[in-house]
Amino acid sequence: MGLIQNILAVIVVLGLLITFHEYGHYWVARRCGVKVLRFSVGFGKPLWSRVDRHGTEFAVAAIPLGGYVKMLDEREAPVPPELRDQAFNRKSVWQRIAIVAAGPLANFLLAIVAYWALFVVGTTTVAPVVGDIASGSPAEQSGLRSGQEIVAVQGDAVRSWNDINLKLVAAIGASGELTMRARDDAVSDAREYRLPVEAYLVRQDPPRPLQTLGITPWQPSFPAVLGQVLDGEAAARAGLQPGDEILTVNGSPVDDWMGFVSAVRASPGETLALEVARGDERLDLTLVPGEQTLETGVSIGYVGAGVEPVEWPEEYRREIRYGPVAAVGQSLARTGEMTVLTLDAIRKMLIGLISPSNLSGPITIAQVAGDTARTGLESFVSFMAYLSISLAVLNLLPIPVLDGGHLLYYFAEAIRGRPVSERTQAIGLRIGLAMIVTLMVMALYFDLMRLW
């Protein structure tokens, strides 16, 4: 069931993002007088199609992971003399630039609208209150204390752990100090804390912003009650079910969920005797955790089960909501922040600060899409907005075969006063294809390694 949900979620997300992207090309092309021959959602044989009054065929094809807009173009096929003024290649260079740029801009617009909707509807998050501070860590050295609420990172206000993680990820590669402002309670003044770092998060896979600083977020005590059990994993094979409460492991009482997690992590491949409460029943079950190897080489136990959520105390909950007008500014700011973060991540990957193993391909995208869909509409829309920004940024990179590569040629044409030679474009096409194929193979490889 989880695999099917992942596949459906990624089809919905990518289908929507790519359709919106291609519609941007289509909409501007029509306004520039270009005849659009086909607007296809998906690749391959059309499952459904119709032709509108302008002669454009709209189609839904069999392979749902993509789409395209085919325009009248003398470089691709002969064009009748009476239609040449509607050919893409006959339009001015600035019209061609507008048509090509419209796809990525449509993705930025989609992200802005998605964030605007989230800000207007409102989101509920938990206050970024510090739980444990690791001994000897940068957080302890700065004087940061358990129970304090972090209100700013690097001079920027934050209201959630998600905000904090975004600010910290943006600081990858930093050496010297990271600054945080924190307060003891809602009425006290915030103080500044300086956390010493050296090559912060460089080449960590995946980056662990808070753990590296020695900060563990505060959370309420979770009883050892299962909220979910994954099909085919150790917990399911042992007969555990959602709603079961773990009472003892090998005869030792389990106080909370982390107590159960610690016992599992310490016992890869070993047989654990569980006493379980299921309603009014008491059951004795045998659990054999699977084995996972961390990047440090340490093996830990894994059973494929999650905890049942509990209600957070009201004083730790924060609602983030804006009016329709104020939400416009907030959505623009969030889109800009995520765009800069994406560009900075690409830059840092190129200079070696971020490991290439952080590249994600279709498998990881499907997993995250499925996970966010199961978490709720808020998480799903937020993920879709970020993926839309990523798609826009990647398409604007100056790599031939991408929109950014075409824009590079057209801007060169605008400056030089004549088109880039076909020979140069053909060479660029081969280089661009090689780069894209290499990136796709790398992303798929790292996907499979994470899955394995």
Tens-digit pLDDT profile for residues 307-345: 888 788 888 888 889 999 999 999 999 999 999 999 998
H and E: helices and strands count for the chain: 12, 18
Find the catalytic residue in 22, 149, 378, 413: 22
Residue 283 belongs to some domain of the structure: yes
The reply to whether 157 falls in a domain is yes
* 373 and 397 both lie in a single domain: yes
Q: Is 401 within a domain? A: yes
C-alpha to C-alpha distance for 145 and 207, rounded to whole angstroms: 23
pLDDT digits (tens, 9 = 90+) for 4-31: 777 788 888 888 899 999 999 999 999 9
Q: What is the mean pLDDT of residues 166-193?
A: 91
Q: Is residue 3 part of a domain?
A: no
Residue 45 counted as domain residue: no
Do residues 246 and 274 lie in contact, with contact meaning Cβ atoms separated by under 8 Å?
yes
* Residue 376 lies in domain: 104-122+321-452
Residue 202: inside a domain: yes
Q: What is the pLDDT of residues 143-167, one digit of tens each?
A: 999 999 999 999 999 988 989 998 9
Predicted model pTM:
0.81
Of residues 16 and 99, which shows the higher confidence score?
A: 99
My answer on whether 207 and 279 are in the same domain is no
| pLDDT on residue 452 | 64
Residues 6+ apart with CB under 8 A from 210: 161, 164, 165, 168, 216, 217
Whether residue 370 sits in one domain with residue 427: yes
Residue 79 is assigned to a structural domain of this protein: no
Q: Is 191 exposed, middle or buried (0-12, 13-18, 19+ CB in 10 A)?
A: middle
- Pair 356, 437 in one domain: yes
Task: State whether 137 and 180 are in the same domain.
Answer: yes
In the chain, % of residues over pLDDT 90: 62
Residues 118 and 137 in one domain: no
Question: Is 314 known to be catalytic?
Answer: no
Q: Are residues 328 and 449 in the same domain?
A: yes
Bond preceding residue 46 cis, omega within 30 of 0 = no
What is the domain-level CATH number for residue 288?
2.30.42.10
Residue 134 and residue 118 in one domain:
no
414 to 400, 408, 429: CA distances (angstroms): 17, 10, 20
Confidence category of residue 444, pLDDT binned at 50, 70, 90: confident
pLDDT band at 56 (very low <50, low <70, confident <90, very high): very high
